[in-house]
Structure 1
Amino acid sequence: MPLLPFIPPSRRRLSIYFGTILVSLIFYVFLSSLRDLVGSLEGVKSVQYPYNGKGPCALYEGLEDIFVVIRTGSNELHEKLPSILNTTMICVPHYGIWSDWEETYSGLHIANALDDIETDLLAHHSDFEYYRRLQEGGPGGFSPEEITSWSHASNTQFGRDTPAWKLDKWKFLPLAKKVYAQSPLSPWYMFIECDTYVFWDSLLNWLLRFDHTQPFYIGRQMNMGDNLFAYGGAGIIVSNPAMVMLVERYTSNEKFYNDFTIGQWAGDVVFGKVMSDAGISLSKAWPTLEGDMPATLEFKSTSSTGHPFWCYYATTYHHMSPDDIVSYYEFEQSWKLTSDGFPRNGDVFRHLAYSMMASEALNWDNLSNKIETEDASFEECRRICEARPDCVQFSLSSRICKTSNTVKLGYKQEQPSAEQVHSGWIKRRVKAFMDVNEASCSGQQWI
């Protein structure tokens, strides 16, 4: 079966240029050979293809030791899944896709992550009202008004306010049980989402630091009250012994953990609770594993060891749009052909953020947050920023001028004209910011 077609990006980062026609040709041949490697994608439980260790995929030594678990939902699968299947998942030999609705998508089996949950919960608990309607009427059983309302739901401190998101917390533990039953001998398991970008070169080399025969639970650390857990969107990595302990703990106390899940806001909190109860501590992985997208990150942040975020290898990002996934994949393949070593967060900023920063960007929010005045023109706002030595960017919306001493790319705005945001950057100061951060890197750093 051929690969799914790329989703045509509505925007492409114009920064990715190849120096010569030869490099462009090599890149084309590289991608073509990746597509040729992928035979039929089939399987009742997981999606796998006959990995033979040859061609471009042979560069990913050790990838065959990881079973990749893609957790998604029927509300987003058709929009988000194609981009990762055509990019970061091309060379992954062992993976499965689980959702809240069993279906076949372009020849791939999408399994139901929730069908083994306690029957009474599925039938009666309010958390599963969306699930019950989904099983009865399918994804097409919801009204256009409901779908529109959910698509515009706001993100809160407890996650996105939609029934599909509230259902998602129930997938984590049953999914771990299903994954282990399907692939009990995998040295590693990595749980990701459809909007998680993985730099496999970086991750595989970093993972060599860990012994897969020991119980490891690795992820981007977060706290919720007294609960320390790995954030799911950044990728959760579990060794085989840890998976055994997790599944045994969950299956022997399923009623207890179902009751615990009812009172929680996210499944990765529940996942971390079971790990902790099983005696497995979290191996904190930030900033190697990152839980957000570069467009919104503070690149001047530092790790707990004092190393600049800028200097760490780019390994995972989250909340990536399908267009972002494609653009980052193109950047990554270009990097392999033209550069030595692995790209760092700073390289990602330089190639995929800085090149898009302009003196003026219409309908763009660069996330400037300090209100300077509520009655200014765009040029007046620029002058306010330039008058402050530490100001690197500014934005204007409804004559409200905001500035920031933190560099962020932000994102395109799709709002009524009266509320549209126009942004600008003081590029010479952004360039100075990059130079200072680059000079601070004493070798490339792992956490």
Structure 2
Amino acid sequence: MYAHSLKPRSRLLSPVFIFFFSLFVFFQLIRWCRPVPGATDRIFLEEESEESCRHHDGLSDVFVVFKTGATESLDQVPTHLATTLRCVPHYAIYSDYDEVIDGVHVQDALDEVRADLKDTHPDFEYYQRLQDGGRSAFSDEENAQWAATQSTIAGRDTPGWRLDKWKFLPAAEKALRQGAATGANWYVFYEGDSYIFWRNVLDWIANLDPAQPHYLGNPMIIGDVAFAHGGSGFVLSRTALEMVVVEYRRQNLEFYDAFTASHWAGDCVLGKALADAGVPLLYARPNLHGDHPTELGFLGSVSDPTSQDWCYNIASYHHMAPSDIVQMSMFERQWNKGNRTLLRHGDVFTNWVLPHITSRRDAWDNMSEDIVEYPEGTTITMRDCYKVCLGQPDCMQYSLSGQSTCRTSKMMRLGRRRSAVEGEETMASGWMTHRVNAFVEVMDEYCGQDGWVLP
């Protein structure tokens, strides 16, 4: 049976503490939009440190590679030091700017890149300005413009993002050098908007031999290169990392520098070098996941439960803001206190997402996709849209844009806030809560014990 409820050790705590702690967690979970964790969160996380780390035996065998950039590191690094890095004994933080944040050295990943490249390639103009003048080298207008740049399927067209592709191979080389000094057998790479579930990751890699060339990741394909998506996090065995560093630095440095210069995705560059070195990619989605948990959809049908992400153990989520990371860390710690089972996607949906699904949310996009056709000029209400969904037995949710576009969906997602923007229609979303709850109850019976993707 799947364990859905959080079970804190109430016999060790007073009822008064449990009451106020429950209120605290509730109000933290509904505050979706805080940009960074506040002082209250930090105090909670510090007090929970010793208890939360007891589930992380085995991390001494792992070297963790955390990648960030100067435009984001002041928000990201303190958040991760208090959460995903708190229990990690051996790690390095790589950026495009050498500095100390909260007493921790953030290393320049690019300091050993060939000088002629840094002097001549346009991607490094931003880097050179950053080294010469720090963050103050950039005007408020430039920073505002970069912050407002929207992400696309090909990334964000900002100087910091274009520079980022150059970090992957140098970071791999640095990580091998630093990790070898700790005796690491595994290397886990992730980024500032990723969340890593260490208890789960350690259980996963315990099934594998680090002497074999393992490369575990959420697969992406560009051209003929299959590679692990960097934002989802990826895992390399010691042997795999040794092989790619030999391929890159010791044999084909100029080739991979030229390949990086002509490419746009650094995780693809690393994936090519691994493939060239003879290291295959294990397609490890949905364990390593590229979605935010509120945007991960579940098909509202149990006819083929094995195709659902629901039953798989979680190693990571992506697109996590600092406030999301703090909230997920608090949730995970409570889960680990009260449950012997590993967290699966279904557990996160039931305990972290489902409490926010109601019959209706205004200024909200639940990412419904199937447009309902009406005669041109018809005025549509939420009630009209609800009736369409109600008449479709497999419809789980619906949304209305303005008064003209009704969408329905067989998938269930919470989605994201959709605030009114000038020139855009307002949006409201609704869910068939009785169907969602029935789906959760039925899926509880389907999940077996095989939650990992393995070779």
TM-score by length of 1: 0.86
C-alpha distance in 1 between matches for 2:68 and 2:88: 18
One-letter amino acid matched to 2:76: K
Structure 2 counterparts to residues 233-382 of structure 1, below 5 A: 233-251=231-249, 252-300=251-299, 306-372=306-372, 373=374, 375-382=379-386
- Choose which of 397, 404, 409 in structure 1 pairs with 2:401: 397
Provide the residue aligned with 1:43 in structure 2.
none
Structure 2 counterparts to residues 31-430 of structure 1, below 5 A: 35=46, 56-184=52-180, 185-251=183-249, 252-300=251-299, 306-372=306-372, 373=374, 375-399=379-403, 400-416=405-421, 419-430=425-436
The runs of 4+ residues in structure 1 deviating greater than 3 Å are 15-28, 31-38, 304-307, 417-420
One-letter amino acid matched to 2:398: F
Checking the alignment, whether the CA contact within 8 Å between 2:78 and 2:101 is kept in structure 1 is no
Cα distance change, pair 446–182 in 1 and its aligned pair in 2 (3 A)? closer
Cα distance change, pair 393–24 in 1 and its aligned pair in 2 (3 A)? farther
Deviations 1:356-378 (A, max 9, x none): 01112122211112222573222
Checking the alignment, whether the CA contact within 8 Å between 1:307 and 1:445 is kept in structure 2 is no
The SS at the match of 2:412 is: coil
Cα distance change, pair 279–405 in 1 and its aligned pair in 2 (3 A)? same
C-alpha distance in 2 between matches for 1:435 and 1:58: 31
C-alpha distance in 2 between matches for 1:338 and 1:186: 30
Cα distance change, pair 32–180 in 1 and its aligned pair in 2 (3 A)? same
Checking the alignment, whether the CA contact within 8 Å between 2:310 and 2:344 is kept in structure 1 is yes
Checking the alignment, whether the CA contact within 8 Å between 1:394 and 1:403 is kept in structure 2 is yes
TM-score by length of 2: 0.84
C-alpha distance in 1 between matches for 2:421 and 2:275: 47
One-letter amino acid matched to 2:125: E
Cα distance change, pair 429–63 in 1 and its aligned pair in 2 (3 A)? same
The SS at the match of 1:191 is: strand
One-letter amino acid matched to 1:249: E
5+ unaligned residues in a row in structure 1: which ranges? 1-14, 39-53
Checking the alignment, whether the CA contact within 8 Å between 2:70 and 2:135 is kept in structure 1 is yes
Cα distance change, pair 390–56 in 1 and its aligned pair in 2 (3 A)? closer
Cα distance change, pair 427–189 in 1 and its aligned pair in 2 (3 A)? same
The SS at the match of 2:298 is: coil
C-alpha distance in 2 between matches for 1:306 and 1:172: 34
Count of aligned pairs: 415
Provide the residue aligned with 2:37 in structure 1.
none
| Percent of aligned pairs with the same amino acid | 41
The SS at the match of 1:169 is: helix
The SS at the match of 2:400 is: strand
Higher relative contact order (CA 8 A, sep 6+): 2
The SS at the match of 1:88 is: coil
The SS at the match of 2:64 is: strand
Checking the alignment, whether the CA contact within 8 Å between 1:381 and 1:401 is kept in structure 2 is yes
Cα distance change, pair 55–370 in 1 and its aligned pair in 2 (3 A)? closer
Cα distance change, pair 16–439 in 1 and its aligned pair in 2 (3 A)? closer
Checking the alignment, whether the CA contact within 8 Å between 1:33 and 1:56 is kept in structure 2 is no
Deviations 1:146-187 (A, max 9, x none): 222222222222112222111111100011111222222321
Cα distance change, pair 24–127 in 1 and its aligned pair in 2 (3 A)? farther
Provide the aligned C-alpha RMSD in A: 2.7
Deviations 1:227-251 (A, max 9, x none): 0111111212111122111111111
Task: After TM superposition, give the deviation of residue 19 of structure 1 in Å.
Answer: 9.1
Task: After TM superposition, give the deviation of residue 71 of structure 1 in Å.
Answer: 0.4
